[in-house]
Amino acid sequence: MTDDKIALRQMLEKGSDATFLREMIGFAAQRLMELEVGEVTGAAHGERSPDRLVQRNGYRDRDWQ
């Protein structure tokens, strides 16, 4: 959570409004997708849980477009 706050602060300090808006939307969308995947799998990324429903395959970073 602290890393998320640091990343958000770094985005706030950037210049252009269009760039800022694009990055904010990407940041929010990424967090929402992570929450949704955690709900579907029954555990957060990297978390071990006896309640886990499925396994997550690999992950790769993608640029927000």
Question: Is residue 30 domain-resident?
Answer: yes
Q: Which domain holds residue 24?
A: 1-41
pTM of the model: 0.55
How sure is the predictor about 1, in pLDDT bands with cuts at 50, 70 and 90? Answer: low
DSSP per-residue codes, 6-63:
HHHHHHHTSS-HHHHHHHHHHHHHHHHHHHHHHHHHTS-TT---TT--S---------
What are the tens digits of pLDDT across the range 6-60? 777 776 666 677 788 888 888 899 899 888 888 888 887 777 878 777 777 766 6
* Domains held by the chain: number: 1
Residue 27, domain member (yes or no):
yes
**pLDDT at residue 39 in the model:** 84
The predicted structure's pLDDT at residue 65: 64
In a domain, 25, yes or no: yes
